[in-house]
């Protein structure tokens, strides 16, 4: 039917297509293409309440993603949530940068928005951000709304 050369060429094409597809999945579908772990530095922020924030939640500045949350732990002494984040090393942040947790859309996932300040000093590896505002918990808001209405 077909000589072995055509057959070999077709097999070669098939394997090449398959590997391209694997590569496409890695680079285009998953997050591998956008961020390597090597070019990041870690900073921390303490929140009173980190709400529905998860590991790998995005960190944005002015709506542009600059990093990801890498770890969320509880401070045992002060009972605050310690959020570690990996920031892309291309972005240098002033020391008085503030962090707030927002929700994308009404029911969307939560993310950290950073608001750079005007300080000359820059945040370095493992620095802690002091100015933070916690996640808005929808139930708390609703609860507050009802109690305020009752007191009137």
Partner 1 sequence: MIDFFQTLGHSVLSSFAKLGRSCFFLLQILAGILTVIPRPRLLTKQLYSVGVLSFLIICISGFFVGMVLGLQGFYILSDFGAEETLGVMVAASLVRELGPVVAALLFAGRAGSALTAEIGLMKATEQLSGMEMMAIDPIKRIIAPRFLAGFISMPLLAALFSSIGVIGGQIVGVGLLGVDDGAYWSQMQSTLDFQEDIINGVIKSIVFGFIVSWIALFEGYDAVPTSEGVSRATTRTVVNSAFAILGLDFILTALMFGDI
Residues that bind partner 1 (CB under 8 A): 4, 7-8, 10-11, 13-15, 17-19, 21-22, 24-26, 28-34, 56, 58, 65, 105, 107-108
Q: What minimum distance in Å lies between the beta carbon of 35 and partner 1?
A: 9
Round to whole Å and give the CA distance between 72 and 45. Answer: 10
Q: What minimum distance in Å lies between the beta carbon of 102 and partner 1?
A: 15
Q: What minimum distance in Å lies between the beta carbon of 13 and partner 1?
A: 8
Round to whole Å and give the CA distance between 79 and 116. Answer: 26
- Give the Å distances, CA to CA, from 50 to 30, 101, 126: 26, 7, 19
Q: What minimum distance in Å lies between the beta carbon of 123 and partner 1?
A: 23
In the complex with partner 1, the residue whose CB is nearer, 7 or 73, is: 7
Tell me if 56 sits within 8 A of 37, measured CB to CB: no
In the complex with partner 1, the residue whose CB is nearer, 60 or 134, is: 60
In the complex with partner 1, the residue whose CB is nearer, 35 or 49, is: 35
- Strands (E) in the chain, as ranges, are 40-47, 58-61, 64-74, 81-88, 98-103, 110-115, 128-129, 132-133
In the complex with partner 1, the residue whose CB is nearer, 8 or 125, is: 8
Round to whole Å and give the CA distance between 96 and 101. Answer: 17
Q: What minimum distance in Å lies between the beta carbon of 55 and partner 1?
A: 10
In the complex with partner 1, the residue whose CB is nearer, 25 or 124, is: 25
């Amino acid at each position: 039917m077909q000589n072995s050369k055509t057959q070999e060429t077709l097999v070669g094409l098939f394997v090449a297509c398959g590997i391209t597809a694997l590569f496409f999945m890695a680079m285009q579908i998953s997050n591998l293409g956008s961020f390597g772990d090597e070019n990041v530095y870690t900073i921390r922020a303490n929140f009173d309440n980190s709400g529905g924030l998860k590991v790998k939640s995005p960190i944005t500045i002015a709506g542009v993603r600059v990093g990801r949350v890498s770890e969320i732990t509880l401070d045992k002494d002060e009972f605050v949530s310690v959020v570690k984040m990996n920031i892309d090393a291309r972005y240098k942040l002033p020391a008085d940068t503030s962090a707030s947790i927002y929700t994308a859309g009404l029911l969307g996932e939560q993310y950290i928005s950073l608001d750079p300040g005007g300080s000359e000093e820059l945040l370095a590896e493992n620095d802690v951000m002091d100015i933070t505002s916690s996640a808005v918990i929808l139930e708390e808001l609703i609860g507050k709304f009802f109690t305020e209405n009752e007191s009137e």
